[in-house]
Amino acid sequence: MATRKMTFTLPEDLAEQFVRRVPARERSKYLVTALNEKLSARNRDLVEACRIANNDTEVRAIEKEFDAITEEAGAILEL
C-alpha cells in the first residue's frame, strides 16, 4: 500500500495527550485507525441521510420538479 507523509497542526493539549498516551512507534498506526473509523462513520451517516431523503415524499416531489426543469432545458438546447 502506498503511503504519504503529512503534517498536521494539533491543539497543544491534544498533542500532549497523544505523545503521552501513544508510544512513538505506534503513532502512525494509531492515527490511521482513528481516521479510518471516523471516515467510515461519516460515510455511514451520509448513506443513512441519503436513504432518509430518498424515502421522503417531499424530497421526491422536489426531485420531480427538477427533472421537469431539466427536461425542458434539454428540449430548449436541442433547438
Structural domain spans, the chain: 31-78
Would the pLDDT of 36 be above 90?
yes
Per-residue pLDDT tens digits for 17-30: 999 999 999 999 99
The rounded mean pLDDT for the chain is 91
79 band by pLDDT with thresholds 50, 70 and 90: low
Only one residue has cell 505523545, namely: 19
Would the pLDDT of 8 be above 90?
yes
pLDDT confidence of residue 54: 86
Beta-carbon count within 10 A of 63 CB? 13
Question: What are the φ and ψ backbone dihedral angles of 56, each rounded to 5 degrees?
Answer: -90, 125
- Apex CA 78: angle with CA 76 and CA 79, to 5°? 70
